[in-house]
Amino acid sequence: MLAPRKVKFRKTQKGRMRGMANTGDYVSFGSYGLKAMEAGWITSRQIEAARITISRKVRKVGRMWIRIFPDKSITKKPAETRMGKGKGAPEYWVAVVKPGRILFEIEGLDEKDAERAFRLCSHKLPIKTKTVGRREVGV
């Protein structure tokens, strides 16, 4: 599973997810991409599950890119613990995703197969997504 090797701060604040994605919002490596339609946190486990479903469809005929990385730690206090005594220990890692962000990219598949692979992938993710094609510059 994906997790950062080293972070500046072990425990991060919750933050807010306002507005649209301003980076990573277009298909730049492959020919088709999976685009986020709403904001949310995607855990490293969900990214791994989605990666496995896509790689089953892509196999040896194409390539796949993961365009998100879980770099935010989510903390949790142990069960049946009284309030206070500081913030809990980091439990898992999430990627903060805003609407418009490209999550995964595929190359080497036709449109129908890419659509099918991304549909199966979207069932593993907690947000609404859609398949988009590459924009040709200057056309």
Task: Map out the domains of the chain as residue ranges.
Answer: 32-133
Give 32-133's CATH code, choosing from 3.40.630.30, 3.90.1170.10, 3.10.20.30, 3.40.640.10: 3.90.1170.10
Tokens representing 131 are 């398949």
Average pLDDT, the chain: 95
pLDDT for the residue numbered 135: 82
Q: What residues contact residue 108 under an 8 Å CB cut-off, 6+ apart?
A: 31, 58, 61, 62, 63
Q: What are phi and psi of 70, to 5 degrees?
A: -80, 105
**pLDDT digit string, tens, across residues 5-38:** 999 999 999 999 999 999 999 999 999 999 999 9
Between CA 93 and CA 43 the distance in angstroms is: 6
Token output for 67: 């365009």
Tokens of 6: 């080293």
Contact 48, 2 (CB under 8 A): yes
CB 72 within 8 A of CB 93: yes
pLDDT in tens, 77-104: 999 999 999 999 999 999 999 999 999 9
pTM score, whole prediction? 0.93
Mean pLDDT, residues 121-128: 98
Name the pLDDT band for 60 (thresholds 50, 70, 90): confident
